[in-house]
Amino acid sequence: MAGEAGGAALGRAAEKLFSLSGLFAVRKPKGPTSAAVLNLLKERLLAEAGVQTKGDKRNQVLKIGHGGTLDSAATGVLVVGIGKGTKMLGTMLAGSKKYTAVGMLGKATDTLDATGKVTEEKPYDQVTKGDLENVLQKFTGEIMQVPPLYSALKKDGKRLSTLMKRGEAVEAKPARPVRVYSLSLQQFQPPLFTLDVECGGGFYVRSLVNDIGKELSTCASVQELTRTKQGPFTLEEHALHEDKWTIDDIAQSLEHCTALLLGEPARKKLKTEHPGETAVICEDK
């Protein structure tokens, strides 16, 4: 009888898991890639439901995806679609996102962040808080931006970052229009400075910080990056910590987020956001 009860419980858990549908958010930690976080989430849910899979078959068993990659060194909101919710991820890719970034003046790297090799060092003593605030105005609104070479953009079906790591020659993608809704300086303690930015799809915070450094006649790279909001999902209110990656917690979150999405004002999708590329351009950021 105990075995039958256990089997029934597992059956109910699996039934509940496969009935889940919609969008929710998890808190991505620093270190793993977004794909690795998603795989861990799948493994946790399938194990809780008692569903045994081998290798990549878990991808066929449970329909799940994310709405915009974060760098492995970045933390914050990772929007996840489950069931029919995977069809809604396109709007998350193209929609607005908010980030808090800590930049460092005087040091440039090949990846434009702290994970890369230092490629240049320049003095930054001449840069004042006022200089930095004035420069930010040039990067607000619709601007032209060159994506980083280390990115999820693809050439011949392969990620540029993968080609770069292999030592293959990679040409920079041409500059393209992107949208910055707001940009503000939160802290200035040279060489470090902290920015809050709200942007549209396809925007790279690493490129922004790099460009700011050049504009100030020095160089700069990202030291820390956190996505604080994506669409209506905020880091503090909606992103589930790893200990909440359970069927019941996600079910509750889906209920809450359905109401959240219904109340979200639709942003007009900009022509500048390259809908054909959105699945791969949201690495950063």
| Stated pTM of the model | 0.82
Tens of pLDDT, residue by residue over 9-31, are 568 999 999 999 999 999 999 99
Which residues are catalytically annotated?
71
Task: Establish whether domains 3-95+238-262 and 97-230 are of one fold.
Answer: no
Residue 71's pLDDT band, with cuts at 50, 70 and 90, is confident
Of 33, 213, 195, the residue nearest 112 (C-alpha): 213
Check if the beta carbon of residue 231 is closer than 8 Å to that of residue 96. yes
Q: What mean pLDDT comes out for the span 62-81?
A: 93
Q: What is the residue extent of each domain of the chain?
A: 3-95+238-262, 97-230
> Which class is domain 3-95+238-262?
alpha beta
**pLDDT higher than 50, residue 280:** no
Q: How far apart are CA 267 and CA 97, in angstroms?
A: 12
Q: How far apart are CA 71 and CA 74, in angstroms?
A: 5
Rg of the chain on CA atoms, in Å: 21
> Which class is domain 97-230?
alpha beta
Query: Between β-strands 233-234 and 220-230, what pairing exists: parallel, antiparallel or unpaired?
Result: antiparallel
Check if the beta carbon of residue 119 is closer than 8 Å to that of residue 110. yes
Tell me the percentage of the chain whose pLDDT exceeds 70: 78
Number of continuous H segments (helices) and E segments (strands) in the chain: 9, 14
